[in-house]
Structure 1
């Protein structure tokens, strides 16, 4: 689901890598554990499971919605605000006659360059959502116009859109401290997602 955004804390000297490659290199096992956890709850096996998945997605995208609409970032990454998917998740929930779910876990308060790590994970998840979108279509009869809007590909195609996004992300001028903070944000995003998967699906 998160596909290429693999994150695991390492201390290698990767100063010569672009931001995207730096995050990718440092994000291996955590990404895999998130994907494995999500698929273990079989989100597309029943309508009830899919509703829980949507409620999970709503929480995550509510957190990153402000990042997509950040005025400063929108000056540096063209069309960023248009990529936000929180509203689409809410529409998907409404299609299925349900709504967001309150959780006990407090939402994280993001600051500084940490938001770049969260943004990287959020956009990367759209690339990895290709097979999720197919499952929503094939198993549940949902699609880009009903019930699975937020999983639909970008108009330019997932691959081209991701390359264009990464190219803009890599133009951001960051200090070493900010790159480290961005990595922390990515790691935190994965960790939080795992927490809310367990809460929404009532896993022990």
Structure 2
């Protein structure tokens, strides 16, 4: 059997956690009302603020063409402005990550844009769109799947050691765990 690519290994490694995050988010009913969605935006703001430095990481930028253009923090801020949402502002512990761990974080963030197709559709039911309130959930101009294949190809082309791969797995775990913590804190639900 041929060895898995890094993104295949990440997918395999984080499948259960990924599903748990999806289930947690949907259990908060973020698209039941604008108020519920405002909390979702606050969570997105915390998460995208945390990952934003990855998109401006010099080492990764040299290896991943166009990395800075993929950041979605500005779109999250624009959506918050549309709906008059302030950042959560309470203490949410900021994680740190190494360059190798950042690869796992990047995999999670960019992969989430594929799943955002469902969220974007749900947002439409409460009159949100890429023009108002849900621009950060909109598809990449190239389309969700072509864009995701492109990003995966770039991640798989990174020169990584076995240690880097393990660190990327840890990064993916940390990213999912952090997003779950943020969602629980903002929606005020217990572990």
Q: What TM bracket, shorter-length normalisation?
A: over 0.9
Could you tell me which runs of 5 or more consecutive residues in structure 2 were left unpaired when the two chains were aligned: none
TM-score normalised to structure 2 length: 0.96
Match of 1:112 in 2: 99
Contact 1:103 1:199 in 2 (8 A): no
In 2, Cα distance between the equivalents of 1:48 and 1:112?
Answer: 36
Give the alignment's TM-score, normalised by structure 1.
Answer: 0.90
Question: 1:79 aligns to what?
Answer: 66
**Cα separation, 2, equivalents of 1:28 and 1:74:** 27
Alignment of 1:16-165 (within 5 A): 16-137=3-124, 139-165=125-151
Quick check: which one's helix share is greater? 2
Give the whole-Å Cα distance in 2 for the aligned partners of 1:20 and 1:39.
25
Report the more deviating stretch, 86-95 or 64-73: 64-73
Q: Deviations along 1:99-139, whole A, 9 cap, x unmatched?
A: 211232311011130000000000000011001001111x2
Residues paired across the two proteins, number: 190
Considering only aligned residues, what root-mean-square deviation do their CA atoms show, in Å?
1.3
Does structure 2 conserve the Cα–Cα contact (< 8 Å) formed by 1:117 and 1:186?
yes
Whole-angstrom distance in 1 between the partners of 2:186 and 2:90: 8
**Structure 1 contact 90–100 (Cα < 8 Å) conserved:** no
1:178-200 alpha-carbon deviations (Å, 9 max, x no partner): 10000000001111111111100
Q: Who is 2:167 aligned against?
A: 181
Q: Deviations over 1:146-186 (max 9, x none)?
A: 10010000000000000011111111011111100000000
Structure 2 counterpart of 1:191: 177
Contact kept in structure 1, 2:60 and 2:99, CA below 8 Å: no
What's the offset of the Cα at 1:78? 1.2
Q: Specify every segment of 5 or more residues in structure 1 that has no aligned partner in the other structure, as ranges.
A: 1-13
The 4+ residue runs of structure 1 with deviation greater than 6 A are: none
Structure 1: distance between partners of 2:85 and 2:33: 15
Describe the SS at the equivalent of 1:27. helix
